[in-house]
Structure 1
Amino acid sequence: MKTGLVSRASALALCTALASSFALPAHASGVGTVLPTAETAPLFDDEAGGDANADDPAIWRNAADPGRSLVVATAKQGGLRVYDLDAREVQSIPAPAGPSADDKPGRFNNVDLVQGLRLGGARADVAVVSDRGNDRLRIYRIDRDRPGGPLTDVTDPGVRPVFSADQAEINEQQTAYGLATWTDRATGRSYALVSQRNRTRIALLELVANPAGTVGYRQVRALDLPSSFRLPNGASWTPCAEPGELPQVEGMVVDPADGTLYAGQEDVGIWRIDAALTGTPVLIDKVREYGVPGTYDEETEECAPGADPGFGGTHLSADVEGLTLLTEADGDGYLLASSQGDNTFVAYDRERDEDNEYENAFRIAAASATLDGSEVCDGAAALNAPLGTRYPRGLLVVQDGEETPGDGDREATGFKFVDLGKVMDAVD
C-alpha cells in the first residue's frame, strides 16, 4: 500500500473518479461474507502511539502445541508485534533507530517465516522482516517459551543495505519493501524475495547462517518488472503516480510446491514468476484500473483520471495488496489477494496448470459493534492446519487499515483473526 499522503490521495481520487465508470462484475452482488472471530488492540500512527501502523502478518505454528501458536506482525515504525491466538499481545519489539538523528529510523514493512533454518548447529524457525527505514532485512529466531518473549534478534550485525549504495540513498527510501520467503526443496537453501519501494525491482537474497548463530544474506540476482505497458489499441500506458515513482510491488508469496512467486504490482495486477527470478513473468490478472490514463496535478497532489479504454480486469480494484496461499493436502488450494480498492479478497486456483483461474471473492464484514471487518487491507496470511480448539480448521489473519471504533480523531489500524474454515466455505 502507498503510505505517503500524496500517493494515498492520488489512489483514492482515482478510485473515486472511476467508480461510476466501471460496471460491477457478475460476482460483485454475490460476494460472500465472512466474520472475524477476534482482533488485536488498535495501533496508532502518532507520537503517543509510538508511530505504530499495522501492515503485514505471518502465522507461526507451534508443532508441539498448536494451540499456543503465534502471529508475528509488522507495525512499521512501531516495529514488530507478536500475538497469541486470542489476539493478545505477547511481545513488542521496537524498530532499530537510524545511524543518526538526521537519518531515517527503522520501519518494519513485511514479514514472512522460514522453518527449520540451520542455525548455531541446530534447526530453528525464524521470522524475516523488511526494514524499509534502514534498507535491511532483520531476522528473529522463534522460541515460544523463551523468557522475555518468543522472538530473539539474530541478524548479522554486518548486513549491508539491500538496494542502496550509502546512507544518503537509504534516506531517499527507495528501499526494501515487500517480502516473501522461499526454501528450495531441491537444495535446501532458503531465500527472501524483496521488492523495492517506488521501483519495479525484485531481488532474490539467499539467507546465510553464520557459525556465531546469526543470519545474514547475499544477493543472487534481481529482476525488473515493466513500468509501462502496451495496450491492445497500440497506446503505451504507465500508471499515474507522483513524479519519479514507478509502479511498485508489495504483496508477494511463494508456492513451496513448485517454487512459483506471485507478486502484486499494486496499480497493475498479479504476476506469476519463477521464485528463482528466471524465465518470463506472466501477468495472470489485471486491476480494473489497468490502462486508464491519469495526469498528476502538482497543486492537488492527485491524479486526474482520463477515459477508461476498457482494458482492465474484472476482479481486482487497485491497489493489489496482501497475497497469501491457502494450501490443501491434495495439492489443491487458492491464491488469495487483497483487492484494496473494493475491500474484498479474491481467490484464484492455486494450480499453475489451470492458469490460476479466478474462483470466487469474499469480504470480511463486521461481526458486532465492537468487532469490525477489514477495510483497505494491506497484508494477509493463511495457515490451513489445526491450531488447537480455537481454530481447528486453520486461521486467516488480515490487516485492517481502518480499525473502528478508534480513539477520537486518531486513525487506527490493527489485525483481524478469521476462522479459515469459514473462509473455505465462502470461497467454495
Structure 2
Amino acid sequence: MIRITKLLAAAALATGLAGCAANEPVIRGLPPVQVTASGETQPVGTGRADAADDPAIWIDPANPNRALIVATDKKAGLHVYDLAGKDIAFVQAGLVNNVDVAGDIIVASDRNDGANAHLAVFRLDADRPEIVPLGRAAAGTGEAYGLCLKKTAPGQPITAALIVKDGTVRVGTLTVDGAAPDFSKEWEYKIPTQSEGCVFDGDTLYVGEEDVGVWKLERNGAGATAVLIAPVDHQRLVADVEGLATIDYKGQRYLLVSSQGDNAYAVFRLPGMDYVGRFAVAAGAFGATSETDGIEAVAGNFGAAYPDGLFLAQDGDNAPKAQNFKLVRWDQIAAALGL
C-alpha cells in the first residue's frame, strides 16, 4: 500500500512537472527584449488542437496601405483576416500547412496525401472577399511541409520552394494560367533532418532545420550550395527553429527566426547574418505568444494601428480559445531592438 501511494505521488508530481514544462521553456536563450501585441485574429476553427500554423500578408497593389492576412488552419483550410483580426473568409482545404502569396495568388503546402507532395493554389478576391480554389500541383514524393514564394514583379513567373518534411528542398516554377496549376522543379537539395520554415531573399533561400538551425541555400545547377549560418546554440536560437521572415527597414534588410523552444524571435541583419538581438511578445492588452510556428513581417504604412509595418506570429497557446495569430507594430519591435 505504501509502495502504491508512493507511485501515485510520483505520478502526480511528474504530471505537475509536465504541466509546468508545457508552459515554461526548459532551455532559455539570451534574454529577449519585450514587446506586446497590438491586435490578434479570431481563433482558427479547429479547437483543442495544434491547428493554426502559418500566416502571410497580402498587400493591395492598387492601395499599398491596405493589407489582409491569409493564414492556415492545418486541420481544415485557409482563413482571411482583416487587420482588426476579423475572420472575413474561409475555404475548406483539408491539411494545408504553410502559406504564401504572390499578387492575388495564394499557395499552400498540401499534406492531404502524405506520400505525395502537392501545392494547393487559390486566387484571392479581396473585394468580395473570397478564396477561390484553382487546383493542386503535384510536387514529387514525400509529405509537403514548408512553403515560400520568391517575391517577383506582377506578371512574372512564380518561383516556389517546397520543403518536404524529411528536409528535401524542391524549388521550381509554378504556372497558374493553364487549366490546372503546374509545378516544374528546377533544383533540389536535401537538408539532413526535418525542416519547415523558409523565406527567399532574392535568389537566396533560407531554410530552418528544426533541431539544427538556419541554412543558406544558393542554386548550383540542379542542386545547391548550402551553408549553416545560424546554428541552434541555446543562446540566439533554441530548438525548434520554425518560421522565417524578412523585412526591410531604414535601408536594411533583416531576417527574423522563430526560436520556438523558448518563445522568442531572433533578428539578423542581411546579407552578413549579423546578430541584432531577440524579442518576445509578452502579455499586454492581448496575450503573449508561445510555441510559435509561422511568422511574417512587412514594412509599410497600414494606418494608425500599424504606421511603420507589421509583424505576425502564430500563437501556439491561446487558451481557453483555439490557436490564433498575434499582430505587433514593427516600430515597437525596432525601437526595442534599437534599430
Q: How high is the TM-score relative to the length of structure 1?
A: 0.68
Q: Structure 2: how far apart are the matches of 1:192 and 1:399?
A: 22
Q: Which blocks of at least 5 consecutive residues in structure 2 are unaligned?
A: 1-17
Secondary structure, aligned partner of 2:53? coil
Relative to structure 1, the CA distance from residue 385 to residue 315 in structure 2 (aligned partners, 3 Å threshold; closer, same or farther) is same
CA contact (8 A) 2:187 2:224 kept: no
Matches within 5 A, 1:221-240: 221-225=187-191, 227=192
Please, which of 120, 139, 144 is the counterpart of residue 138 of structure 1? 120
1:93-132 equivalences in 2 (<5 Å): 93-95=91-93, 106-115=94-103, 125-132=104-111
Q: 1:349, 1:359 within 8 Å by CA — same for their partners in 2?
A: yes
Match of residue 306 from structure 2: 391
Is the aligned partner of 1:423 residue 2:333?
A: yes
The structural deviation recorded for 1:206 is 1.0
Shift of 1:344: 0.5
Shift in Å at residue 66 of structure 1?
4.3
Partners of 1:217 and 1:344 lie apart in 2 by 35
1:356-413 CA-to-partner distances (Å, cap 9, x unmatched) read 1211000001113xx2011000000001111133311111111000113x15xxxx31
Question: Is the CA contact 1:52–1:79 (under 8 Å) kept in the aligned structure 2?
Answer: no
Q: Secondary structure at the match of 1:281?
A: strand
For the 8 Å contact 2:45–2:73, the answer to whether it is kept is no
Long gaps (5+) in structure 1: 1-11, 96-105, 116-124, 165-173, 228-246, 289-312
SS in 1 for 2:106: strand
1:421 maps to a residue whose letter is D
After superposition, where does 1:172-321 map in structure 2 within 5 Å?
174-183=142-151, 188-197=156-165, 199-212=166-179, 214-225=180-191, 227=192, 247-256=193-202, 259-274=203-218, 278-288=223-233, 314-321=235-242
Letter in 2 for 1:253: V
- Counterpart CA distance in 1 for 2:152 and 2:260 is 31
CA shift digits 1:26-58 (9 cap, x unpaired):
x42xx2111001112223645xx7x78100000
**In 1, Cα distance between equivalents of 2:311 and 2:144:** 25
Cα-Cα RMSD: 2.6
Change in CA separation of 1:91 and 1:81 when aligned onto 2, cut-off 3 Å: same
Question: How many angstroms does 1:177 deviate by?
Answer: 0.5
| Distance 1:210-1:41 versus aligned 2 partners, 3 A rule | closer
TM-score, reference length from structure 2:
0.84
Q: Give secondary structure in 2 for the equivalent of 1:111.
A: strand
| Separation in structure 1 between the aligned mates of residue 287 and residue 105 of structure 2, nearest angstrom | 31
3-state DSSP class of the match of 1:43? Answer: coil
Distance 1:64 1:209 in 2: 22
Instruction: Name the structure where strand makes up a greater proportion of residues.
Output: 2
Measure, in 2, the Cα distance between the counterparts of 1:379 and 1:425: 23
Percentage of pairs with the same residue = 33
Deviates more, 1:383-392 or 1:265-274: 383-392
Cα 1:323–1:193 shift into 2, 3 Å = same
